[in-house]
Structure 1
Amino acid sequence: MEQLCQLNGLAGELGEQHDIELYSADEKCGMQALERTAADLPAAPAHVRRRECNYIRHGTQSLMAALHVASGEVCASIGQTRTESDFVSFIEWVMAELPPQKKAVFVLDQLNTHKSESLVRLMARLNGDEQDLGQKGKSGVLHSMVTRMKYLQGPSLDDVRSQSQRIRFVYTPKHCSWLNVVEGWFSGLQNRLLSLVSCQSVTELADRVLEYVAYYNENWAKKINWRKVKKADIDLLVKKTRKLVTKLTG
């Protein structure tokens, strides 16, 4: 956990001094294209905008996003599914957008599609690794998710500044996907757009999401400023939380 925070704090230095771009990547699946059966009632004095509760479902879309930690900008792709091949194609697309001299580190959670055979083969190809990767489920690097994850992580995080590989991956601890900063961006997308928009098709939903991404990159994207949190800060937060819980529960 501490290493991930340090890595995020180094994002600017890695890009400017070492040609290493840091991305926080994940998927947001099941975005529903909901068409409200009636228009919202506009805001009035002493009343917020009121929303029609009934809707028509038009299907779902899956979003794949990679947040560039140093700049705050987001690369995004939308489709019907979020399969192993979908994720590999997304990573390959992000890498294709980088200049040849640039290297990349992707922070991911431990979803099985993030430790797949296809991703291992993509990494080997981009890094020029010609070793025998073995056979999935039987031998070598491809033997299991454990061996694949070890290969995808590459060297220790302590050596990230001297990374020679074109691409590598860093994983959040199990049950700690919230440490991935793109999750905060997903929250903003949900609150600012998905909870409010009314769409008549999945195509319209996809267009609206991509419009949001473009607007965000142009107007709101900014470098995430990281600072080291002291134990005293954590103790104070725990104390305030306990006090609030006691007050709410009586």
Structure 2
Amino acid sequence: MIVETLESMPRNATHWSSRSMAAATGLSQSTVSRIWRTFGLQPWRAESFKLSTDPLFVDKVRDVVGLYLDPPERALVLCVDEKSQIQALDRSQPVLPMQPGVPERRSHDYLRAGVTSLFAALDVVSGTVIGSVHRRHRQQEFLRFLRKIDASVPADLDVHLVLDNYATHKTPAVKRWLLRNPRFHLHFTPTSASWLNLVERFFAEITNKLIRRGVHRSVVALEKDIRAWLTVWNEQPRPYVWTKTADEILTSLATYCKRIKDSGH
């Protein structure tokens, strides 16, 4: 039954249910459910992924993970990225508050009031965040954010930035600024590997706790709430602790690739 669950599918569906597996194997539905729980099998669940094809994938993983697990002395490691296109949304009708036995309810449609972008730099040791909101996310805004980081970090510390391969991070103007500020060192994550940047975990936090269910009638109101949320976060920051070594990550990916047809292993 376990082999059937892992390697086949029913004739009339994309995945097994406990009822269809029971019919196919002659076991009871409760027995199928019990065996699936024992082996951690959940055929009804599916998650998305994308394997990086970056030719320097291994080197970049070792570089970034090395910063997380063994940060350099006299330096600050900051995970940097932009959360762009944050929408200021107002519901078309008032939100109905939660009541005993009834969850909060809101209309499915909404009114768009504009967008903004959050630039964030997460300190991997302390968990504090240097943040800035801008209506656009061009090289001009990124340079302004770099200057803010420069002003916020003590002058006697080097600054190691972990960031993705977005074109704004590699423009000639940015490269010239970095040459004039040699204490900044850039470490790029592999393409299609945003999971390697710890600031993405912070973005998930602010999305779940503020943005997704927030009601904002203007971009100004949205930006005000984002700044207030950052202030509260930095009062009691919580670092995200990276635990896996580069070798463990690469071994895990290799194991998955061996199970995927035409992956080239």
Note if 1:6 corresponds to 2:93.
no
Q: Which residue, 77, 101, 104 being the options, matches 1:49?
A: 104
Take 1:44 and 1:96, find their aligned partners in 2: how far apart are those partners?
Answer: 47
For 1:6, give the aligned amino acid. G
Q: Which residue, 64, 67, 71 being the options, matches 2:119?
A: 64
Take 1:35 and 1:44, find their aligned partners in 2: how far apart are those partners?
Answer: 22
For 2:146, the equivalent position in structure 1 comes to 91
Q: Any idea what SS the aligned residue of 1:222 has?
A: coil
Percent identical across equivalent pairs? 30
The offset of 1:47, in angstroms, is: 2.3
The offset of 1:51, in angstroms, is: 1.5
Q: If the length of structure 1 is used for normalisation, what is the TM-score?
A: 0.72
Q: Which residue, 188, 200, 203 being the options, matches 2:217?
A: 200
Which 5+ residue runs of structure 2 have no aligned equivalent?
Answer: 1-60, 260-265
Take 2:180 and 2:189, find their aligned partners in 1: how far apart are those partners?
Answer: 24
Note if 1:174 corresponds to 2:174.
no
Contact 2:123 2:129 (C-alpha < 8 Å) held by counterparts: yes
For 2:238, the equivalent position in structure 1 comes to 222
Q: Any idea what SS the aligned residue of 2:241 has?
A: coil
Take 1:225 and 1:192, find their aligned partners in 2: how far apart are those partners?
Answer: 20
Please list every run of at least 4 consecutive aligned residues from structure 1 whose deviation after the TM superposition is greater than 4 angstroms: 229-232
For 1:106, the equivalent position in structure 2 comes to 161
Note if 1:19 corresponds to 2:74.
yes
Alignment of 1:146-161 (within 5 A): none
Q: Any idea what SS the aligned residue of 1:191 has?
A: helix
For 2:88, the equivalent position in structure 1 comes to 33
Take 1:74 and 1:98, find their aligned partners in 2: how far apart are those partners?
Answer: 12
Q: Any idea what SS the aligned residue of 2:178 has?
A: helix
Q: Any idea what SS the aligned residue of 1:52 has?
A: coil
Take 1:59 and 1:171, find their aligned partners in 2: how far apart are those partners?
Answer: 31
Which structure's CA Rg is the greater one? 2
Larger RCO of the pair (alpha carbons < 8 Å, separation 6+): 1
Q: If the length of structure 2 is used for normalisation, what is the TM-score?
A: 0.68
Q: Which residue, 130, 134, 138 being the options, matches 1:75?
A: 130
Q: Any idea what SS the aligned residue of 2:68 has?
A: helix
Take 2:189 and 2:215, find their aligned partners in 1: how far apart are those partners?
Answer: 34
The offset of 1:88, in angstroms, is: 1.2
For 1:198, give the aligned amino acid. V
Take 2:241 and 2:157, find their aligned partners in 1: how far apart are those partners?
Answer: 22
The offset of 1:86, in angstroms, is: 0.8
Take 2:70 and 2:180, find their aligned partners in 1: how far apart are those partners?
Answer: 27
The offset of 1:115, in angstroms, is: 0.8
Take 1:231 and 1:95, find their aligned partners in 2: how far apart are those partners?
Answer: 34
Which 5+ residue runs of structure 1 have no aligned equivalent?
Answer: 128-165, 243-250
The offset of 1:225, in angstroms, is: 2.4
The offset of 1:189, in angstroms, is: 1.0
Contact 2:198 2:240 (C-alpha < 8 Å) held by counterparts: no
Contact 2:82 2:119 (C-alpha < 8 Å) held by counterparts: yes
